[in-house]
Amino acid sequence: ETGVTQSPTHLIKTRGQQVTLRCSSQSGHNTVSWYQQALGQGPQFIFQYYREEENGRGNFPPRFSGLQFPNYSSELNVNALELDDSALYLCASSFGLARNTGELFFGEGSRLTVL
């Protein structure tokens, strides 16, 4: 069984640039969620994709956008990068909406540094 994989693992960008982060969900999972984890903080929910549609969004501006593909892999795009976007971006997959199981399977994350 293949786990959740994310790429790239580390990257450095400058203010104003755009970035795309990628996530391959665990085999058999059709739901992907993205979280932002700033240094010393817990993960914060960005949005969730279920069967290729956005299915909920946290308190993040529209310059954070995403996609889910037919194979359930996903991308997180961030435009007009700001210094505060520096963080670890976590992808989590599950089968269905995992409402009460809490069983989200996380990747190791992509660490973004904005200079």
Partner 1 sequence: GNSVTQMEGPVTLSEEAFLTINCTYTATGYPSLFWYVQYPGEGLQLLLKATKADDKGSNKGFEATYRKETTSFHLEKGSVQVSDSAVYFCALSDSGGSNYKLTFGKGTLLTVNP
Contact residues toward partner 1 (CB under 8 A) are 3-4, 31, 33, 40-45, 48, 50, 55-56, 58, 90, 92, 94, 97-109
Q: Which is nearer to partner 1, 20 or 50 (CB)?
A: 50
Is the Cβ of residue 14 or residue 101 nearer to partner 1 in the bound state? Answer: 101
Residue 78 Cβ, how far from partner 1 at the closest point, in Å?
19
Instruction: Output the smallest distance, CB 33 to partner 1, in A.
Output: 7
Report the 10 Å Cβ neighbour count for 21. Answer: 21
| Least distance from partner 1 to the Cβ atom of residue 20, Å | 20
CA-to-CA distance for 46 and 35, rounded, in angstroms? 5
- Quickly count: other Cβ atoms within 10 Å of residue 36's Cβ: 23
CB 77, CB 54: distance < 8 Å: no
Q: Which is nearer to partner 1, 43 or 66 (CB)?
A: 43
Beta bridge partners of 89: 36, 110
Cα 103–chain centre separation? 16
